[in-house]
Amino acid sequence: MKLKIEGAEYGLQWGMGAIEIYCDRIGCDVDGLDKAIFSDKEIEKQKAITTLILAAIQNYCELHEIEFDLTYRKLQQWLSDAPQNTFNEIINDWKKTMYLGKTIGEWYFGEAPADVPKKKSASVKSSKSVTK
């Protein structure tokens, strides 16, 4: 999935890399991942989801050797202005991601394997250009 933010296109690369970046930023381990995302406190949930999306963008940039120049505040503002269906598409993309043999939907949302089609893993190309 690609996002166009302030005229630049950013890819989302979920998986172990994004989860590691997320956990480093938010100060949790993998077992604490769902605590922030499913928090009863709306501000904690918003911070966690924004941080997770930013981690997926950073992971994509690192894997594709693209300069990572998006800030948390720019992403936060873009998400705030984006229509609800854009946010839903991002979350659904994340839920399809494989993590240790199951989808995120299976791990954290109780979805059956048939409920979430398996997403093909992206191949990594050594490309230093990005659409800006």
* pLDDT the model gives residue 35: 67
10 has which bridge partners? 3
Name the residue among 116, 120, 104 with its Cα closest to residue 33: 104
Cα radius of gyration rounded to whole Å, the chain: 14
For 32-48, write each residue's pLDDT tens digit: 677 667 778 888 888 88
Residue 129 has pLDDT above 90, yes or no: no
d(C-alpha 124, C-alpha 132), whole Å:
20
d(C-alpha 90, C-alpha 94), whole Å:
6
For 75-102, write each residue's pLDDT tens digit: 999 999 999 899 889 999 998 988 888 8
* pLDDT the model gives residue 123: 45
Q: Is 68 exposed, middle or buried (0-12, 13-18, 19+ CB in 10 A)?
A: middle
Element (H, E) at 49: helix 42-63
* pLDDT the model gives residue 44: 83
* C-alpha 72, offset from chain centre: 13
**pTM higher than the cut 0.85:** no
